[in-house]
Amino acid sequence: MKIFKFGGASVKDASSVKNVTQILQSEGSGNTVVVISAMGKITNAFEEVIDAYYNKTDELSDKLGVVEDFHKNLMNELFDKNDTIYKEIDILLGELSWFLARNTSKRYNYVYDQIICFGELLSTKIVSAYLTKIGVDNNWFDVRNYIKTDSNYRDAKVDWELTQELISEKVDTSKLNITQGFIAANDTENTTTLGREGSDYTAGIFAYCLDAESVTIWKDVPGVLNADPRVFTDTTLLEQISYEEAIEMAFYGASVIHPKTLQPLERKEIPLLVRSFVNPKETGTKVTKGVRLVPYIPCFIVKKNQILVSISALDFSFMVENNISYIFQKLHDYQLKVNLIQNSAISFSVCIDNKFKKFDAFYDELKTQFKIDVQKEVDLYTVRHFDDEAILSIENRGESLLTQVNKETSQIVINPN
């Protein structure tokens, strides 16, 4: 059993869908679970639908029209007008309209998950239908009937015992199976999501539960590179790396592999392959147990639009355990992800990701008890296996605000302005 995952860029238009089907035919279409994300930038388009709906703006109809037109235009290039896929897509869009009309919940995260899931449902329906059209037998299924979670909307935790039972019993391992990444469901059958970019994690869940021989993530890059080619001009393919190295890179923010994907694979020693859907004959990167980084060179990870916060006591007393514990609790309460920590006797600094837009509320609560200095829109660079030349290349990108170094890793906060 193999697990394939195709992200949004791999199914961004009609020609991309055709390319995915060609890869599946070339790689062998049986005994495989294929996890597919929403098409292109459709997740972003659905987020605009959510904002228009939640904030009750008059743009909702237009935003919905963008989503519908995108999928219908793509379908027009793949199918005949009388194909049954048009009716299936209309049914899904009707379910979305029904939710928008009937929902009474004011919980943003709940509303988000109930709407955002349609991106993956539409995408997989279209790919499955096109495979059928060209003669590739496949089984489409709704992943929400297989992966079960708690009710922590937008960042749900998997119920591994129930999920294992459902996947083991219900997946036909002899067939080509098409399903959705990123989404799941709780015990009341409401949709939940596994966190942004969670489709990789979905692939890891299926691999673990089915004892898969491998997971392949198909990307628009040759494999795992030592730096993001959108940020750095010179990059090198890492042909083999260990689970440990990949987890470290993912933890610091490398976008090629989702941070939660690797743990279930490492537990069962299931190899992870990162390959290019642009050049599918290339071998890409293999992530396995105990393999040292090859080649052993500096690896650069950048997280943009971070917030650097320095906190000190109003009376200039020491920042000790009870202060820091309180601050961490508030960071957790406001869902602020900490990417760097540094403290001195009287100051505690963190570089954080404001993914859930709750920083202002966090700041308002703490400013009455602490002196807080804030610098927004900074970039956090992490360099694994750094050398002097690598550090200098980062420091030349702007004003260096904070540097932290340990044996293997250097982190530098840069003000790019």
Does 197 carry a binding-site annotation? no
Closest CA to 287 of 308, 257, 310: 257
Alpha-carbon distance of 132 to 135, in angstroms, equals 5
Does 6 carry a binding-site annotation? yes
Residues β-bridged to residue 193: 183
Under a CB-based contact definition with an 8 Å cutoff, are residues 110 and 156 in contact? no
Alpha-carbon distance of 409 to 402, in angstroms, equals 14
CA atoms within 13 A on the CB side of 2: 14
Under a CB-based contact definition with an 8 Å cutoff, are residues 124 and 36 in contact? yes
Q: Which residues contact 398 (CB under 8 A, 6 or more apart)?
A: 379, 414, 415, 416, 417
Task: List % helix, strand, coil for the chain (3-state, nearest 5).
Answer: 40, 25, 35
Alpha-carbon distance of 1 to 215, in angstroms, equals 9
Rounded (10°) CA dihedral 126, 128, 131, 132? -110
Phi first, then psi: give them for residue 112, nearest 5 degrees.
-55, -50
Phi-psi region of 280 (alpha: psi -120 to 50; beta: other; left: phi over 0): alpha
Q: Which two structure tokens, joined as six digits, stand for 206?
A: 């299926």
Under a CB-based contact definition with an 8 Å cutoff, are residues 378 and 307 in contact? yes
Dihedral sign for Cα 225, 251, 156, 154, please. Answer: negative
Rounded (10°) CA dihedral 55, 60, 64, 69? -140
Alpha-carbon distance of 385 to 407, in angstroms, equals 8
Does 365 carry a binding-site annotation? no
Does 5 carry a binding-site annotation? yes
Alpha-carbon distance of 331 to 322, in angstroms, equals 14
* 3-state SS class at 239: coil
Does 79 carry a binding-site annotation? no
List residues forming the annotated binding site: 5-8, 43, 120, 230
List residues forming the annotated binding site for ATP: 5-8, 230
List residues forming the annotated binding site for substrate: 43, 120
